Amino acid sequence: QVRLVESGGGLVQPGGSLRLSCAASGLNFKIATMAWYRQAPGNERELVATITPTGGVNVADSMKGRFTMSRDWARSTAYLQMNSLKPEDTAVYYCNTNWRGSLWWGKGTLVTVSS
């Protein structure tokens, strides 16, 4: 059973930074592509970024230059570094992976950007 546990969300002022963590278990993390999605109230869930097993990162165009992903293979943890946060970044952020043909999701962590 794959388990993804997000942490690191919270309240941050506009222009601030946060780093989200996703601790993964129940899969071979070394060969898993990991992703972050987000869902704002009233909106559909959208892809934020992905990272390949070898560390290649793709970030959604609207977040390029502000967000990036990384991973720690020893800790089986993926990270989302968010800088220059804006109120429109307020959302629940979800960790995701496609493992053995099934999509797996964490429960999400809430990020609120507000002064």
Which residues of the chain register pLDDT less than 70?
Answer: none
Residue 67 has a pLDDT of 98
Sheet strands (E) in 1-115: 3-7, 10-12, 18-25, 34-39, 46-51, 57-59, 67-72, 77-82, 91-99, 102-105, 109-113
Residue 45 has a pLDDT of 97
Residue 1 has a pLDDT of 92
Residue 46 has a pLDDT of 97
